[in-house]
C-alpha cells in the first residue's frame, strides 16, 4: 500500500504521461527509493522535459490528491490496479505502452474475460443503432464481454444490448472515474458498475479533455480479442480504435452499409484495408471461436494469442479422436511450439507429444526446426 502512495503521487503529476511512468515503473521496484534519492534519476535515459516533470513531482508531490484517491478506494467497488497486479488484464499487458495504473469501478475480475470491442458513430442512423444493439445482445449471450467507450450512439447501444442480454460489459472512460461522461449516461454507468466495470487510466478529477479520448481507444482495443465497427464516417474516432487494434495484431470486423450513407464509408474503408466484412453475429463467432478457446488464462497469468491463420476444425477431422481434434484446433499455418499448444489446449505435455507424432504420421501436420509444428497444406 505504501508503494501505491508514491505511484499515485507520480501519476497525478503534470507532465508525467503513461510512457514516462512506465519507464519509472520498470526501473524502480520501490518508488520510495526514488523520492528519497532523486539523484537516481540519472540512471535513466530521460528527455530534459521528462526529467524536469519528474523532479518537480518528487519535490512537490500532491499528497492531497493521493489522499482523495485513497479515500475513494475505501468503497469496495473501487479499485486501483498497478501493472503488476494479478487482476491487471493480461491482454492489455501485451500492447505497446499499456497504462501502468488502471482505475476500476465495478467488477475488476471481468477485465480478464474474453472481450469484443464495439465502436461506431456518436450520431448513428436508426438502423445502425438497432444493429449495434442486436450484435451486442447476441454476442453477450454467447459469453463475450462487450467493451466500448460509453459515448453517445453506437457505444451506448452496444453496452445496452449486452446488459439487456444479462451479459457483462466494460466501458473505458476518457475522464477520471469520479465523474460520469456524458452526464446523461448516469443510469447506464450504474448498470455497467453492477454487471461489469468502468475503467480509466486517468487520475480522479480529470475532466473530458478532447485529447484523452483518442488516447483511451488503445485500451478499448487492447482489452479485446477483436474490434467491431458498426457505423463510422471517414474521419471517425472509431477508425482510430480499429487502427490500434490492427497495430495490436487483433481482429477487426466491419459491417457494410449503403454506398449513399456517409456513416458507411469508414466501414467500407476498413474492409478495403483488410477488415473482415460481417453480416451476422455468427460471422464473428465463427471467426473468433478458436481464439476464444485459445485465449484462456494459463499458469502465470498470461494469455497466449494464436496466429490468425487458425480456423475452426474442419469436418474432415471429425473421425479423429477428440484429443487430436483439440490439438488441430489450436494449430494454424504458422509454426507453433509445443509449449504454446499446451497453453492453448490445456492438455498435458505427454498428451501433446504422443498425439503430435500420430498426427504427423497421418499427414495432418508438418514439423519445423526448433520443435515447431504447423498444419500441412492441403
Average pLDDT over the chain reads 87
Contacts of 186 (CB under 8 A, 6+ apart): 180
pTM of the model: 0.76
The tens digit of pLDDT for each residue in 46-89 reads: 888 888 888 888 888 889 999 999 999 999 999 999 988 999 99
Identify which has the larger pLDDT, 93 or 172: 172
CA distance 230 to 247: 20
**The pLDDT of residue 295:** 52
- Concatenated DSSP letters of 52-106: HHHHHHHHS--HHHHHHHHHHTTSTTEEEEETTSTTS-HHHHTSSS--SEEEEEE
pLDDT of residue 14 exceeding 50: yes
Contacts of 339 (CB under 8 A, 6+ apart): none
The tens digit of pLDDT for each residue in 207-259 reads: 999 889 999 999 999 999 999 999 999 988 899 999 999 999 899 999 999 99
**The pLDDT of residue 293:** 63
The residues of the chain that CATH labels 1.10.10.10 are 309-375
Confidence of residue 311 (pLDDT cuts 50, 70, 90): very low
The tens digit of pLDDT for each residue in 253-286 reads: 999 999 989 999 999 999 999 899 999 999 999 8
Identify which has the larger pLDDT, 279 or 338: 279
**The pLDDT of residue 300:** 38
Give the fold, CATH level 3, of 111-286: Rossmann fold (3.40.50)
The residues of the chain that CATH labels 3.40.50.450 are 111-286
Dihedral angle sign, alpha carbons of residues 126, 213, 285, 115: negative
**The pLDDT of residue 319:** 67
Q: What is the CA radius of gyration of the chain?
A: 23
Q: What percent of the chain has pLDDT over 90?
A: 53
pLDDT of residue 184 exceeding 70: yes
Beta-carbon count within 10 A of 241 CB: 30
128, 121 Cβ separation under 8 angstroms? yes
CATH architecture of 309-375: Orthogonal Bundle (1.10)
Amino acid at each position: 500500500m505504501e508503494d501505491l502512495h508514491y505511484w499515485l503521487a507520480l501519476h497525478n503529476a503534470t507532465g508525467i504521461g503513461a510512457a514516462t511512468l512506465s519507464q519509472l515503473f520498470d526501473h524502480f521496484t520501490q518508488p520510495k527509493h526514488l523520492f528519497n534519492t532523486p539523484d537516481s534519476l540519472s540512471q535513466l535515459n530521460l528527455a530534459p522535459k521528462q526529467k524536469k516533470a519528474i523532479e518537480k513531482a518528487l519535490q512537490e508531490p500532491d499528497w492531497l490528491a493521493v489522499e482523495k484517491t485513497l479515500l475513494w478506494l475505501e468503497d469496495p467497488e473501487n479499485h486501483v490496479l498497478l501493472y503488476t497486479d494479478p487482476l491487471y488484464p493480461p491482454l492489455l499487458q501485451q500492447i505497446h505502452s499499456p497504462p501502468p495504473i488502471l482505475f476500476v469501478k465495478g467488477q475488476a475480475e471481468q477485465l480478464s474475460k474474453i472481450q469484443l470491442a464495439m465502436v461506431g458513430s456518436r450520431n448513428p442512423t436508426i438502423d445502425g443503432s438497432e444493429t449495434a444493439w442486436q450484435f451486442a445482445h447476441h454476442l453477450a449471450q454467447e459469453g463475450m464481454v462487450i467493451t466500448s467507450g460509453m459515448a453517445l450512439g453506437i457505444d451506448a447501444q452496444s453496452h445496452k444490448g449486452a446488459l439487456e442480454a444479462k451479459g457483462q460489459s466494460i466501458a473505458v472512460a476518457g475522464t477520471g472515474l469520479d465523474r460520469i461522461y456524458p452526464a446523461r449516461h448516469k443510469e447506464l454507468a450504474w448498470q455497467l458498475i453492477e454487471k461489469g466495470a468502468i475503467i480509466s487510466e486517468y487520475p480522479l478529477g480529470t475532466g473530458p479533455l478532447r485529447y484523452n479520448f483518442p488516447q483511451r481507444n488503445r485500451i478499448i482495443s487492447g482489452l479485446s480479442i477483436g474490434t467491431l465497427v458498426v457505423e463510422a464516417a471517414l474521419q471517425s474516432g472509431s477508425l482510430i480504435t480499429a487502427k490500434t487494434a490492427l497495430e495490436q495484431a487483433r481482429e477487426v470486423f466491419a459491417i457494410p452499409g449503403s454506398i449513399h450513407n456517409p456513416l458507411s464509408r469508414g466501414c467500407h474503408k476498413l474492409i478495403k484495408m483488410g477488415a473482415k466484412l460481417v453480416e451476422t453475429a455468427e460471422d464473428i463467432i465463427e471467426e473468433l471461436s478458436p481464439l476464444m478457446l485459445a485465449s484462456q488464462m494459463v499458469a502465470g497469468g498470461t494469455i497466449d494469442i494464436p496466429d490468425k491463420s487458425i480456423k475452426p476444425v474442419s469436418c474432415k477431422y471429425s473421425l479423429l479422436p477428440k484429443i487430436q481434434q483439440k490439438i488441430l484446433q489450436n494449430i494454424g499455418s504458422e509454426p507453433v511450439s509445443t509449449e504454446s499448444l499446451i497453453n492453448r489446449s490445456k492438455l498435458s505435455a505427454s498428451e501433446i507429444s504422443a498425439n503430435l507424432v500420430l498426427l504427423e504420421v497421418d499427414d495432418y501436420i508438418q514439423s519445423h526446426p526448433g520443435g515447431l509444428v504447423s498444419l500441412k497444406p492441403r
